[in-house]
Structure 1
Amino acid sequence: MKGSCACGATGYEIDRLDSPILHCHCTTCRKTHAAAYASTAGVQRAHFRWRHGQAVLRAFESSPGKLRHFCGQCGSHLVAERVGVDLLIVRVATLDDAPTATPDSHIWTEHDVPWLEDQGLPRYRQWQPGR
């Protein structure tokens, strides 16, 4: 499977997902992704390769020993890693190809805030003018 950032400056390839897809609700994921949660999955380092754009990659140490790698041009978060750990954390939404797996669970929901509640809101296939 291939993945990339929003502007296409960086790209990677993985052989497979090595752990289930999880929706992470931790405060750091919410803030760094500017989203209610981040969909993630583990990939062994041996199953991950950068295809292009490593020169534009930037990193942010969000907690001691945990680096979040993002495109320095568009800001897309692509991968996170812990120093000395063989499992990378891929941001599933950056995959260009749909994974064969589906999400397994939500984690760090103790970090949820009240405004995240869906409460049966209407769903639209596309943006609706006037909304």
Structure 2
Amino acid sequence: MYEGSCLCRSIRYEISQEPGEFGYCHCVSCRKASGSSHAANAPVQRENFHLRSGTETLKEFESSPGMFRAFCTNCGSPIYAFRSGHPELLGIRLGSLDTSFTKRAREHRYVAEKAPWEEIEDHLPQYPGPHTP
């Protein structure tokens, strides 16, 4: 069981599965949504995501056609994202987890869109766009 929350703790959730393999996404949308150089998102099945509080402050926004991002309307913390073609699969924003998570990233995606001031200094594989194993 994993627990997570937003910065103001209005939104609290639990995940009843181990989050899947993840990578760092450097696309412009993820950079803007995270306010950072990239986002760390791990997949979980929607049925295993349990919102415990914050229904009234959780908002889903369609950031591009078919791509939805959920965040807290009080503090702005990103919580998850999903594609309309696969609404059963959520990309949990790992920065919102309160429970320790020790998996390591496996790749960098959308590096063609990375911030020009960011240098990727690890040895993970880098893909200019999406990568699906």
* TM class, shorter-length: 0.7 to 0.9
**Further displaced range: 94-103 or 12-21:** 12-21
> AA paired with 2:119?
E
Q: Is the 8 A contact 2:37 2:115 kept in 1?
A: no
Q: Is the 8 A contact 1:69 1:77 kept in 2?
A: yes
**Further displaced range: 87-96 or 55-64:** 55-64
CA distance in structure 2 between the aligned counterparts of 1:118 and 1:63, rounded to whole angstroms: 26
Could you tell me how far 1:21 is from its partner in structure 2?
A: 1.8
Look up the match of 2:119: 117
Could you tell me how far 1:12 is from its partner in structure 2?
A: 0.9
CA distance in structure 2 between the aligned counterparts of 1:55 and 1:47, rounded to whole angstroms: 20
Over aligned residue pairs, what C-alpha RMSD do you find? 1.5
Aligned length: 119
CA deviations on 1:61-112 (whole Å, 9 max, x unpaired) are 1111211010010000001112241211100010001123221111111111
Q: Is the 8 A contact 1:5 1:94 kept in 2?
A: yes
Look up the match of 2:59: 58
Could you tell me how far 1:16 is from its partner in structure 2?
A: 2.3
Q: Secondary structure at the match of 1:110?
A: helix
Give structure 2 stretches of 5+ with no counterpart: 122-133
Could you tell me how far 1:48 is from its partner in structure 2?
A: 0.9
Look up the match of 1:42: 43
Look up the match of 1:82: 83
> AA paired with 1:109?
V
Give structure 1 stretches of 5+ with no counterpart: 120-131
Q: Secondary structure at the match of 1:79?
A: strand
Q: Is the 8 A contact 1:21 1:39 kept in 2?
A: yes
Q: Which has the larger Rg?
A: 1
Residue 66 to residue 17, structure 1, CA distance change in 2 (3 Å): farther
So what's the TM-score if we normalise by structure 2?
0.83
Which aligned segments of 4 or more residues in structure 1 are displaced greater than 3 angstroms?
none
Residue 105 to residue 118, structure 1, CA distance change in 2 (3 Å): closer
CA distance in structure 1 between the aligned counterparts of 2:85 and 2:25, rounded to whole angstroms: 22
